[in-house]
A and B are shown apart, each in its own frame.
Chain A
């Protein structure tokens, strides 16, 4: 339907576009520019001290920046592969398992998604503590979140715990619109359940898998709350991700208050998302050819 464009059309579009530009496009663009300036949060004119690539050189010489970058990729890896993989199998088991209460089961596995990541992080923080229930159950005396190598994986585990239901319900929607003909044919041929799942169901669910991977990829870059609450990036800065390291450089109480450096970390996040978007567009074009 194409109504004639008139002054009222502008009134319909203008308020939403204005807010989108002022509170999304403008800060987004400014953030890229600010990464070439030095400022600490007290200046009135942010664009006074142009420092070229200095902020980027600073982060490239910062060992913890590279740890944060690596952790961000681990986080994204966990969300894209581990979370998607577990949710896929779980969705298949619930869907084909003929459960009497399958709606209730889905609701229970889904419910952590409606909780604030802050609440979820605090719940798990106590569980992982030295006198926490995890140690009581397995009979250890280990301070889980103080471990340099384990901390980031525990954060990834908690994040997976919270969002597995999200991936699950999207898979479930995919399963509900699955074409049954191939499965019926396989039944007539006497295929066993493993063959049916791995040769028919999982390949047919491929479009849903791609969608889930993209959603989890975006979600993986976004994670901040759960890191902040569980470890604040510690011990030292070994469980930092890019988003939390940006916060540390710019706003954290007792942090360095170097907002220009923070902006350069934002630039790196932007560059990651942007390159992934470009790869996605190119991949889509190849597939469509």
Chain B
């Protein structure tokens, strides 16, 4: 890939106009992308007295972690959900949803890819079509279904709602992957006397690791950052997830200093940023692969 890229670059190398313009445009967009986050970070580490004075908008005059302490206190006193609790809530919801969706999608994708049955493609096409529907369309009836089931205001409410919404994506990606695996491999396993379950667990799943990784990344981002279902189906503040609690801080009637506000945002941004920094290649590859499967 890299040798390819240099040969591409070569066709544009001798155009100074393109060379300069590309630097200017890319630099401009890098600044636009980085500045807001850097600015929020800078705000969060200024001492409350020097919040509005900084060199070049970004370099604080006086460093302080007081805002982070204030943000933790604000969460506990005003929101009735502390930051550690929000993280626990988000981790419970995200990990249960992802595990549930991936497990069920693996089995269903195996059914779709390795068996023949009536209405197979119709059912599959309905699932794929549902991916385009915005989640808000289901909001009102879903609220009542969860109410009648008696699980409104519990983790299960949001986990099942996410599952109903995201299972089609899991099946889509895994079915495509299972069908790319050469048929001969499955046939050989069956001839060797493997049951269909063994075919799935011993032959297909070990090969499907990249597809499963893609699913985990896509589902993690969708569930960790999800806002409207989490807000409407879990109104009890002690089980708020991070986006819901953060939105409450940001749109609250109570006075909150910009330093504390910024610190609250950074507490939620830094962990995601760290995970992204470690797995960035996976994230970008996973997102691209997920998009190309549509």
Contact = CB atoms under 8 A, between A and B. Distances in A.
Which 3 residue pairs are nearest across A and B when measured between Cβ atoms?
Answer: A23-B164, A97-B22, A98-B9
Nearest to B33: A109
A170 interface: yes
A170 to B, nearest CB: 5
A131 B258 CA distance: 11
Interface stretch (B61-69, B205-213, B224-232): B224-232
Contacts of B29: 90, 109, 164
B291 A215 contact: yes
Given A117-B227, A126-B258, 7 more contacts: A12-B110, A107-B276, A110-B284, A119-B243, A183-B11, A246-B136, A246-B140
A283 interface: no
B266 to A, nearest CB: 9
Given A3-B196, A136-B57, A225-B227, A22 B164 contact: yes
Nearest to A113: B287
Most buried by A among B5, B19, B160: B5
Interface string B124-167: 00110111111111111111110000000000000011011101
Contacts of B294: 211, 214-215
Interface stretch (A61-69, A147-155, A259-267): A259-267
B140 A266 contact: yes
Contacts of B18: 96-97, 193
A97 B26 contact: yes
Contact of B26 (A12, A93, A221, A247): A93
Nearest to B105: A16
B139 A1 contact: no
B173 interface: no
- How big is chain A's contact interface, by range? 35 or more
A267 to B, nearest CB: 8
A250 B139 contact: yes
A273 B36 contact: no
B108 A16 contact: yes
B206 to A, nearest CB: 17
A166 interface: yes
A254 to B, nearest CB: 12
Contacts of B7: 180
A195 to B, nearest CB: 11
Contact of B117 (A5, A30, A192): A5
Contact of A27 (B5, B142, B269): B142
Interface residues of B, number: 108
Interface SS majority for chain B: helix
Interface of A: 1-5, 8-9, 11-13, 15-17, 19-20, 22-28, 30-31, 34, 46, 89-90, 93-99, 102-103, 105-119, 121-127, 131, 133, 136-137, 161, 164-166, 169-170, 172-173, 176, 180, 183-184, 186-187, 192-193, 196, 211, 214-215, 218, 221-222, 224-225, 228-229, 232, 243, 246-247, 250-251, 259, 262-263, 266, 269-270, 273, 277
A25 B258 contact: no
Contact of B8 (A3, A23, A109, A183): A183
B30 A28 contact: no
A8 B197 contact: yes
Contact of B246 (A97, A122, A137, A273): A122
Nearest to B100: A19
Interface string B234-271: 00000000110011001100000010011001001100
A269 B284 contact: no
B287 A169 contact: yes
Contact of B138 (A24, A192, A214): A24
Interface string B161-204: 10111011001000000000001001100100000110000000
A127 B227 contact: no
A286 B280 CA distance: 40
Given A193-B12, A243-B136, A116 B164 contact: no
B140 A259 contact: yes
Contact of B113 (A1, A102, A262): A1
Interface string B4-44: 11111101110101110111011001101110110110010
B12 A196 contact: yes
Given A94-B26, A98-B12, A108 B33 contact: yes
B25 A170 contact: no
Contacts of B92: none
B22 A20 contact: no
Contacts of A133: 39, 57
A1 B183 contact: yes
B205 to A, nearest CB: 13
B111 interface: yes
B104 interface: yes
